[in-house]
Amino acid sequence: MHEIGHIVLYKDDGVDLLPQIEQGRKDGVEYNEEQYARSAEYLRTIVKALIGRDLFEQSTYYRVANPMNPVYREAIRMISDGDAYDAALGNR
């Protein structure tokens, strides 16, 4: 487990980000704790989706990544709500 500030870089999911942060520093990209905290969950999900795509099939990527997409979530909400669906289609 490594820490930069109060962010733990080795999480229970086994992803150790310290090597990538160190490589970024070598490449002239400074680590920003606030940006990391805002983006970490998104990045983990995208990496998980990419690995799923590589191990299984393309649709695995979308099954993992889509729930983060606000447009996708709104579409699912509307489809699940008959009144909202009809209103969106102009049926009411």
pLDDT computed for residue 72 by the predictor? 95
In this structure, the answer to whether residues 91 and 66 fall within a common structural domain is yes
Q: Which pLDDT tens digit goes with each residue over 36-92?
A: 889 888 988 998 999 999 999 999 999 999 999 999 999 999 999 999 899 888 876
Question: pTM of the prediction?
Answer: 0.64
Look at residues 70, 45, 60 and name the one whose alpha carbon lies nearest to residue 78.
70
Q: Are residues 89 and 60 in the same domain?
A: yes
Domain that holds residue 14: 1-31
Closest CA to 18 of 7, 27, 28, 89: 7
Number of DSSP helices (H) and strands (E) in the chain, helices first: 5, 2
Is residue 26 located within the same domain as residue 43? Answer: no
Domain count, the chain: 2
Do 8 and 43 reside in the same domain of the chain? no
Query: Are 19 and 59 part of one and the same domain?
Result: no
Q: Give pLDDT tens digits for 15-27.
A: 667 788 888 899 9
Same domain, 5 and 50: no
